[in-house]
Amino acid sequence: MFDTDMRRIIALLVSLIILIFGSAPIAFANTNTDFNYVPFIQYQLLSTKTVTFGPSFNPLTFCAGAGLVCYTPQFIRSAYNFPSTLNGAGQTIVIVDAYGSPTIGKDLALFDEVFGIPPPPSFTIICPPGGCPSITFNPRNPHGVFGWTLETSLDVEYAHAMAPGANIVLDVASSSSGNAINVAEARVIPMFPGAIMSQSFGIPEYLIHNNNVQLLQAEKNYEEAYNLGWTVFASAGDSGATNGISIPNANFPASDPFVTSVGGTMGNPYPQGLAALSCPSTGSSCTPSGYGGEQVWNEPAFDAAGGGAPSLIFSTPSYQQPLGLHNRATPDVSYNAAVNGGVLVVWSACLACIGATGPVFFIVGGTSAGSPQWAAIAALADQEAGHPLGFLNPTIYEIGQSSHYASDFHDITVGNNMLVGTPVGFQAKTGWDDASGWGTPNVANLVQDLVSPP
């Protein structure tokens, strides 16, 4: 992976090239043949106390002790109108993560117990040849193994929570390198034709190049997935429109034309606005009662904002051409990504790292939260259709430009994705935009139109 000085040099060169030649896709030349992905996850440890649950448990009261708002799966299902008649039965969701987590099996079981969710029909962990990697923790590095284990818990728990009838497969890469991720995906894609993939990770495009060996291998994987009827999602990123440099650039693999890119939102009003609540006068036992409101995810307190920008690498795919875009642009859709307003995740991979004696709750956000939950939505749609729907972007863009848009999506028209300290961001507006795509789902309505497009 590039060191800090090299990142700065490349960022400056890319900025100069864009200023001179404009924003059309550029053919870079570079001899580096590998890169490292990072998980797009933001999180806060709520307490080192062991996870407990009882009839009086309320997430708003629990998280208020840490000065934060948080949600359970029930709150998210209510806000986004998940249908009670579908559970993803018969479908397979494949979660791709580096390193995995040594405790993911028992963490998922406890998560299900805490939130009253039945276990998945099957939970399969596919390790690299020779076994899943032996991992060493460094809690001070949020994008190292520690962060990847929490990413694994988030991905598996919330893909399952939103589609509890679906089979879950955790595809573990030996490391976070592009090569290792590609090898893991190439291994699993032929095994599950018509499955759904979630990738809650990425890398800024300015750090890779369209002659890069690993990018080309990833392209080959996504084309094979397309041909085998897969639906593939990826998180759009957590560092705003520019990924910390001076010009907009998307993250890969979210920018790949065969991938559905998931951006971020937060409550409006922030932080508690996502879920409409029914509360007694004491406020101690609020229950979810539908959708509240959202804006573009931008949380300066956590140095994070939703990714979304034109690609430096890919030209405009056919499904985006009616929008008048000059390049492939992200995101396509969005989902709640707030930390203050995030979801509760059960984790126990390295209790000594945090001074705990048993499994703990983290409150988790980032665009990582959206990819596995959109994968669950695709599983519901495939169940309703009775067959894999495959690549969804053409249908999503058809819906977005139809009279069904207002009933299938929450159009995000407030906020921007300009990360604090960077010079550029995109403003939310009516319809599709670089900050939120088409917006967030009204799942019950959207599923029907994914099956039978308007």
The answer to whether the beta carbons of residues 325 and 310 sit under 8 Å apart is: yes
179, part of any domain: yes
Residue 60's pLDDT band (cuts 50, 70, 90)? confident
Residue 399 has which token pair?
Answer: 């819906």
Residue 299's pLDDT band (cuts 50, 70, 90)? very high
Whole-number Å distance between alpha carbons of 439 and 104: 31
**Secondary structure of residue 168 in the 3-state scheme:** strand
19, part of any domain: no
Other CB atoms within a 10 A radius of the CB of residue 23 amount to 16
- Please identify which residue in the block is written with the tokens 């955790």: 170
What's the CATH code of the domain at 332?
3.40.50.200
Q: What is the pLDDT of residues 208-253, one digit of tens each?
A: 866 688 999 999 999 999 999 999 999 999 999 999 999 999 999 9
Residue 418 has which token pair?
Answer: 């300009």
More confident position, 171 or 9 = 171
Whole-number Å distance between alpha carbons of 238 and 342: 14
Instruction: Residue 392: name the closest of 433, 442, 332 by CA.
Output: 332
Q: Are strands 360-365 and 275-278 parallel, antiparallel or unpaired?
A: unpaired
111, part of any domain: yes
Q: What is the pLDDT of residues 312-347, one digit of tens each?
A: 999 999 999 999 999 999 999 999 999 999 999 999
Whole-number Å distance between alpha carbons of 262 and 233: 7
Strand partners, 67: none
Instruction: Residue 222: name the closest of 176, 201, 253, 200 by CA.
Output: 253
pLDDT at 135: 83
pLDDT at 105: 98
Residue 128 has which token pair?
Answer: 């690299």
pLDDT at 277: 86
Mean pLDDT of 48-65: 82
330, part of any domain: yes
Q: Total structural domains in the chain?
A: 1
pLDDT at 15: 41
Query: CA 171, 46, 338: angle at the middle one, nearest 5?
Result: 65
Using alpha carbons, list the distances in angstroms from residue 125 to 102, 104, 167: 11, 10, 11
Residue 24's pLDDT band (cuts 50, 70, 90)? very low
13, part of any domain: no
More confident position, 31 or 141 = 141
The answer to whether the beta carbons of residues 129 and 173 sit under 8 Å apart is: no
2, part of any domain: no
Residue 72's pLDDT band (cuts 50, 70, 90)? very high
Q: What is the pLDDT of residues 155-213, one digit of tens each?
A: 999 999 999 999 999 999 999 999 999 999 999 999 999 999 999 999 999 998 666 88
Mean pLDDT of 385-414: 98
Whole-number Å distance between alpha carbons of 304 and 302: 5
219, part of any domain: yes
Q: Which helix (H) or strand (E) is 7 found in, with range?
A: helix 4-21
Characterize 141-180 residue by residue with b for buried, 16 or more Cβ atoms within 10 angstroms of its Cβ, and e for exposed. eebbbbbbbbbbbbbbbbbbbbbbbbbbbbbbbbbbbbbb
Range of the structural domain that residue 91 is part of? 28-451
Using the predicted structure, report yes or no on whether residue 154 has a pLDDT greater than 80: yes
pLDDT at 58: 78
Residue 52's pLDDT band (cuts 50, 70, 90)? confident
8, part of any domain: no
Mean pLDDT of 137-155: 82
Mean pLDDT of 90-110: 97
Using the predicted structure, report yes or no on whether residue 285 has a pLDDT greater than 60: yes
